[in-house]
Amino acid sequence: MEYQKIVWKNDLDTGIQLIDSQHREFIRLVNNLLDSTVKSEDAQSLLKAFSFLRYYISDHFSVEESAMIAYGYPFYSMHKNIHDSFREEINGMEMKLRSNLPAHDVVIKLNYMIVNWFMHHIKVEDRKLCNYLEMQAQKRQESIGGRLEQIVSVFFKVRESV
């Protein structure tokens, strides 16, 4: 099985701590999933790990999207469309896992997408967004960290209570 372990490099940092820590956590979850797949863990636990990853990334995207709305980001629809297509891809992968497609095929595809697409998204679109957010927060003299904490607490609390 060929896959590329994903390594975090500093050029992936956007400068907004909370967003960076969610990106890192997502990469950690993907790497764990790769390890579990290589070790051929049972289908049920792979599916569980995949499901968690799907929720995690979708919530993370929602946090970014809420921040875009809160600060009137001019490229909201473009960025949101990119997130939506990634959400769809991940949903499709989960469905494949559920229909017992070989887990390693699905996970290799996920790995490929992260390396060739997600990392690029972080470096280009997320960085552009984070620069904008920092600038707007400064103008309003508020802390971007504090604002994001508020947004996150809403999303991740709702998820925990489901």
- Site residues, Fe ion (CB under 5 A): 64, 126
Neighbours of 63 (CB within 10 A): 19
- Rank residues 58 and 111 by Cβ distance to Fe ion and give the closer one: 58
Closest CA to 107 of 30, 16, 11, 28: 30
Please check whether residue 150 is in contact with residue 89, taking contact to mean a CB–CB distance below 8 angstroms. Answer: no
- Rank residues 37 and 73 by Cβ distance to Fe ion and give the closer one: 73
Closest CA to 34 of 95, 127, 115: 115
- Rank residues 96 and 128 by Cβ distance to Fe ion and give the closer one: 128
- Tokens linked to 4: 């590329």
Least Cβ distance, residue 84 to Fe ion (angstroms)? 11
Least Cβ distance, residue 68 to Fe ion (angstroms)? 9
Residue nearest to Fe ion (CB): 126
Least Cβ distance, residue 86 to Fe ion (angstroms)? 9
Least Cβ distance, residue 103 to Fe ion (angstroms)? 27
- Rank residues 46 and 53 by Cβ distance to Fe ion and give the closer one: 53
Q: How far is CA 82 from CA 30, 61, 65, 86, 113, in A?
A: 19, 10, 11, 6, 13
